[in-house]
Chain A
């Protein structure tokens, strides 16, 4: 049974300044709404508490992808389809393209946004592992100014974020990898489209003189938030591709996860399959 319409209200600011002013006058009173692909599902299920929405979808300031020499800057309203269609995203961030393709299907990809995927704060979202792998940063805006946060510091617990009641997630900045790189993304769901992940692993490695010079691994659906696999990363950093400690890294990955049983998979399944994904990724890396 869906929600009772009179419980809901929507404000439609016509500029970012107006949106921030509304939020500043009533901190925490508004729920930002963009593509609606998460919020409307909860509403349709009748599980959304009475809400005042702030419709961001008309804010031109938050649209578009800007590129400079060192990074891409994604407006909060960048859709999964925008990611799939942007040549620079294909060139620099192939994992993000795969994340976008793995999210729902086309009708969801046309509406759902990158900032919504982050701020909805589901541990099962498909772009966060890739954003973690690429070392993304977030720009949060409020009437007090602009604040930049490393994305791997943003999620603080299940649905808890480093985001003040008067702040909006406005831009996502992803630094372009340089040098010789290796990209890996794999999501495991029940089917290829329209599935929520059982587990997901994204990685980016920079290689130098036959060794792993830099490595970031992002995981989805194995902890209360999207997480970096810091223990596995530490086991691999500096190691030669010719002799990667695959078993040690798989073992270390156990300390990076705290999976649970739910309707999509058991904790045991997640633990085993995520380690298998790491093994597959490392065998691909070793064969370069």
Chain B
């Protein structure tokens, strides 16, 4: 049996040190060790995107990332999007457009869309579909999510 490792990582700007099994999933480190339960587990096989987080600035499925590979890494979860009580423009746009219904896919959607707007400030519908292709939603039919991302991208461009 492998010894636990001392894992140092930065989550939403705060440094953490936890003792975990090297093959523990990043998803479980976040939810169980750091009690950041905004990140959800859906399928557990990289299909649904509910567990999406940013790892060193890239979207990943946190259910497919072993702890040993995030030593020293920077992670952003849905808890890191708002500033205090102030929602990010993307979160606000999801509220305005009813981009969430049951909400289970929403944390992953928000991370993928945040990444998309960072990479592509004025995305077309096709670019949004490509950016969110790994995030499944069984409630909304996606139209309202597309509307929310367009609004947030426009707000972000204005703010810049």
Contacts and interface: CB of A to CB of B under 8 A. Distances in A.
Interface of A: 2, 5-10, 12, 33, 35-37, 40-41, 43-45, 53, 55, 57, 81, 101, 104-108, 110-111, 192-194
Given A106-B59, A107-B59, A10 B130 contact: no
Interface stretch (B19-27, B74-82, B99-107, B142-150): B19-27
Nearest to B67: A10
Contact of B66 (A7, A40, A106): A40
A200 to B, nearest CB: 18
Nearest to A108: B46
Nearest to A48: B23
A104 B134 CA distance: 7
A53 B64 CA distance: 14
16 contacts: A10-B23, A35-B64, A36-B64, A36-B66, A41-B46, A43-B23, A44-B25, A57-B69, A101-B130, A105-B134, A106-B133, A107-B59, A108-B64, A110-B58, A111-B65, A193-B134
Contacts of A57: 69
Nearest to B48: A194
A107 B46 contact: yes
Contact of A55 (B59, B61, B69): B69
A192 B64 contact: no
Interface string B73-94: 0000000000000000000000
Given A108-B134, A110-B58, A2 B44 contact: yes
Interface residues of B, number: 31
A219 B118 CA distance: 36
A55 B24 CA distance: 14
B58 A105 contact: no
B152 interface: no
Contacts of A9: 1-2, 22-23
Given A36-B64, A37-B61, A111-B65, 8 more contacts: A6-B2, A8-B23, A33-B66, A35-B64, A40-B46, A41-B46, A104-B134, A106-B115
Contact of A41 (B45, B49, B58, B131): B45
Nearest to B116: A106
Given A6-B1, A104-B46, A107-B46, A41 B64 contact: yes
Contacts of A33: 66
Nearest to A79: B58
Nearest to A6: B1
B39 interface: no
Contact of A37 (B23, B44, B46, B135): B46
A187 B65 CA distance: 27
B36 interface: no
A110 B111 CA distance: 14
Closest 6 CB pairs of A and B: A105-B134, A193-B133, A40-B64, A105-B133, A9-B2, A6-B1
Contacts of A45: 44-45
B60 A110 contact: yes
Contacts of A193: 130, 133-134
A27 B49 CA distance: 36
Given A6-B1, A53-B23, A106-B133, A36 B44 contact: no
